């Protein structure tokens, strides 16, 4: 049993070292302008099961240099999912979005809704969960100190602190729940140069509009080979599932 654990740890160590070496080689190819070779090595790391925002960011940059609209948008979106507040990722994603043919305006939101979105997007879903657990521990410590100290002044102090911490923990829990709801939404990137979007999951229905490579869509549900999508302006339609690459 012990030898098995040692072997697994050793294998993981070798794998991480190998990926680091491949990543460094890919970066060298990128620096020398050999973007296709860089992409091949970055994808090799992804295929090994490893992922990070820097890996996807470099993939996005490599495809952007080659004017690969769909791929650059996809990998920048993947990078942003892992690190939503990284300014470099968000800036380069906006550059990739400007390459898209489809210019889709987002639905207008109220100022209050805008503030809510900004707060929720301060951290990832996992980070909000960790923050919530930290506040729960602080509540437990504060309650323990309230029970422990016989001094009425200290009791009053830790009682008030406990109330405040419970309120903050409740707020963080709500934010974490909202972030989870947002994270549960599935999105994808259109890959073909141009595709048809239909009113129903068949070509006998009405042709609603055309979409082009790199456009981001929300994936609502599936019916056999078709996926129901929603655009940022609220428009919905059906297209072939094979035309979309999910942002997982």
Using one digit for the tens of pLDDT, what is the confidence trace for 45-55? 999 999 999 99
Instruction: Spell out where 110-215 has E strands.
Output: 186-190, 194-198, 207-212
For residue 7, pLDDT over 50 is answered with: no
76 falls within a domain: yes
Question: Quick one: 117 and 84 in the same domain?
Answer: no
Split at pLDDT 50, 70, 90, the class of 140 is very high
Question: Quick one: 18 and 65 in the same domain?
Answer: yes
Distance of CA 16 to the CA centre of its chain: 23
What global pTM score does this model have?
0.78
Question: Half-sphere exposure of 197 toward its Cβ, with a 13 Å CA cutoff?
Answer: 20
- The last residue of one of the domains, among 145, 163, 183, is 183
Cα radius of gyration (the chain):
24
Split at pLDDT 50, 70, 90, the class of 220 is very high
What's the rounded Cα separation, in Å, for the pair 239 and 205?
Answer: 12
Each residue's pLDDT tens digit, 93-125: 999 999 999 998 888 888 888 888 888 888 888
- 183 burial level (CB within 10 Å; 0-12, 13-18, 19+): middle
The CATH number covering residue 59 comes to 1.25.40.10
Question: Quick one: 168 and 202 in the same domain?
Answer: no
Question: Quick one: 200 and 166 in the same domain?
Answer: no
CA angle 23, 44, 35 (to 5 degrees): 65
Burial 12-51 (b: 16+ CB within 10 A, else e): eeeeeeebeebbeebeebbeeeebebbbebbebbbeeebe
Show the domain range for 36.
2-98
CB of 35 closer than 8 Å to CB of 15: no
| Residue 94: partners with Cβ closer than 8 Å, 6 or more residues away | none
- Average confidence (pLDDT) over 169-176: 94
- The last residue of one of the domains, among 49, 72, 98, is 98
The CATH number covering residue 238 comes to 2.30.30.40
Run of H or E including 110: none
Question: Quick one: 115 and 166 in the same domain?
Answer: yes
Question: Quick one: 140 and 226 in the same domain?
Answer: no
Question: Quick one: 128 and 65 in the same domain?
Answer: no
150 falls within a domain: yes
Query: For all residues of the chain together, what is the average pLDDT?
Result: 90
Question: Quick one: 138 and 88 in the same domain?
Answer: no
Question: Quick one: 127 and 77 in the same domain?
Answer: no
- For tokens 């968000």, the residue is 90
103 falls within a domain: no
Burial 117-126 (b: 16+ CB within 10 A, else e): eeebeebbbe
Q: What pLDDT sits at residue 14?
A: 40
Percent of the chain exceeding pLDDT 70 equals 93
- Average confidence (pLDDT) over 30-42: 96
104 falls within a domain: no
- For tokens 């990070």, the residue is 52
- In sequence order, the β-bridge partners of residue 210 are 196
Q: What pLDDT sits at residue 85?
A: 83
Q: How many domains does the chain have?
A: 3
Question: Quick one: 233 and 172 in the same domain?
Answer: no
CB of 93 closer than 8 Å to CB of 187: no
Q: Give the highest mean pLDDT range of 3-12, 81-90, 195-204.
A: 195-204
Question: Quick one: 147 and 192 in the same domain?
Answer: no
Q: What pLDDT sits at residue 42?
A: 96
What's the rounded Cα separation, in Å, for the pair 23 and 208?
Answer: 43
Would you state the structure tokens that stand for residue 163, as one six-digit string? Answer: 């109330």
Each residue's pLDDT tens digit, 143-162: 999 999 989 899 999 999 99
105 falls within a domain: no
- 116 burial level (CB within 10 Å; 0-12, 13-18, 19+): middle
- For tokens 């805008």, the residue is 114
Question: Quick one: 68 and 81 in the same domain?
Answer: yes
């Amino acid at each position: 049993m012990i030898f098995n654990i040692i072997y697994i740890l050793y294998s993981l160590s070798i794998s991480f070292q190998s990926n680091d070496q491949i990543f460094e080689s890919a970066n060298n190819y990128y620096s020398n302008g050999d973007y296709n070779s860089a992409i091949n090595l970055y994808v090799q790391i992804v295929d090994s099961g490893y992922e990070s925002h820097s890996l996807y960011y470099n993939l996005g940059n490599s495809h952007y240099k080659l004017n690969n609209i769909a791929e650059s948008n996809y990998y920048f979106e993947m990078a942003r999912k892992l690190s939503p507040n990284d300014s470099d990722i968000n800036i380069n994603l906006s550059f990739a979005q400007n390459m898209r043919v489809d210019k889709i305006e987002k639905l207008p939101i109220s100022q209050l809704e805008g503030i809510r979105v900004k707060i929720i997007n301060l951290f990832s879903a996992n980070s909000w969960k960790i923050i919530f657990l930290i506040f729960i521990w602080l509540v437990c410590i504060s309650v323990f100190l309230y029970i422990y100290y016989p001094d009425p002044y200290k009791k009053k102090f830790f009682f008030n602190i406990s109330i405040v911490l419970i309120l903050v923990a409740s707020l963080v829990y709500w934010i974490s729940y909202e972030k989870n709801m947002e994270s549960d939404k599935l999105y994808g990137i259109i890959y073909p140069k141009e595709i048809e979007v239909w009113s129903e999951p068949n070509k006998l229905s009405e042709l609603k509009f055309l979409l082009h490579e790199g456009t981001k869509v929300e994936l609502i549900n599936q019916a056999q080979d078709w996926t129901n999508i929603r655009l940022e302006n609220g428009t919905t339609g059906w297209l072939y599932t094979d035309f979309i690459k999910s942002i997982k």
